[in-house]
């Protein structure tokens, strides 16, 4: 089955001044400021992009199961917790960043936020054996990897084949604006915007009708 691609050839994004604090922009912890771990390559999603993203997601977060595949500062996963998500998995490979995320969850009394220090692709493989048992299907997934790692294709393919996404899951993807993003044909691009050198997109997954030829 063919895949769909959006955008053109990839281009590097110039590094920006990294903020030292993260501000939660909505929900029960609106306005709370949290420290960001001093980790090379950590690139928190900016306030402007997050405001647009969560306007897109408005009404879709409460009582949903969310997966922040490259949690970093927690800008996306913690925002979901603040806005009423039932459960959020925050995956983070770097020990210092993962420790910081755990501290944030403890400080916010966010027991429904589960920080996992792990390799993202390894976690997906493991979760594929637990979905429906110890892990509920994921309603919203955030794919915002370190840009230099070029992990979009591997993560998209792993997510789709793992069976951990709900039939109508929403998937957010953030990338350099020139990065080619290839998705399964039943992932419908519903929103797309560019801010500076970054492109961010929202996809709606549709259930496959296997009865059709």
User: pLDDT value at position 18?
Assistant: 65
- Quote the pTM value: 0.89
List the pLDDT tens digit at each of the 213 positions of the chain: 455 555 544 444 444 566 789 999 999 999 999 999 988 878 888 899 999 999 999 989 999 999 999 999 999 999 999 999 999 999 999 999 999 999 999 999 999 999 999 999 999 999 999 988 889 999 999 999 999 999 999 999 999 999 999 999 999 999 999 999 999 999 999 999 999 999 999 999 998 765 454
Q: How many residues does the chain have?
A: 213
b/e per residue, 62-80, with b = 16+ CB within 10 A?
Answer: eebbbbbbbbbbbbbbbbb
Locate 112 and state its tokens: 């429904």
CATH code linked to domain 43-205? 3.40.50.150
């Amino acid at each position: 089955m063919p895949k769909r691609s959006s955008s053109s050839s990839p281009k590097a994004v110039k590094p920006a001044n990294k903020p030292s604090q993260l501000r939660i922009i909505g929900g029960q912890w609106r306005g709370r400021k949290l420290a960001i771990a001093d980790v090379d390559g950590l690139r928190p999603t900016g306030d402007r992009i997050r405001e647009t993203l969560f306007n897109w997601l408005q009404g879709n977060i409460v009582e949903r199961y969310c997966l922040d595949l490259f949690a970093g500062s927690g800008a996306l996963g913690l925002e979901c917790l603040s806005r009423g998500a039932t459960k959020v998995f925050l995956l983070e490979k770097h020990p210092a960043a993962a420790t910081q995320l755990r501290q944030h969850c403890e400080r916010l009394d966010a027991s429904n936020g589960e920080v996992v220090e792990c390799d993202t692709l390894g976690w997906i493989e493991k979760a594929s054996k637990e979905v429906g048992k110890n892990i509920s299907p994921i309603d919203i997934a955030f794919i915002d990897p370190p840009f230099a790692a070029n992990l979009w294709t591997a993560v998209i393919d792993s997510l789709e084949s793992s069976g951990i996404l709900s039939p109508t899951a929403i998937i957010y993807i953030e990338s350099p604006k020139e990065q080619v993003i290839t998705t399964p044909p039943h992932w419908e691009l519903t929103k797309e915007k560019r801010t500076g050198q970054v492109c961010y997109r929202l996809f709606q997954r549709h259930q496959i009708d296997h009865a059709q030829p």
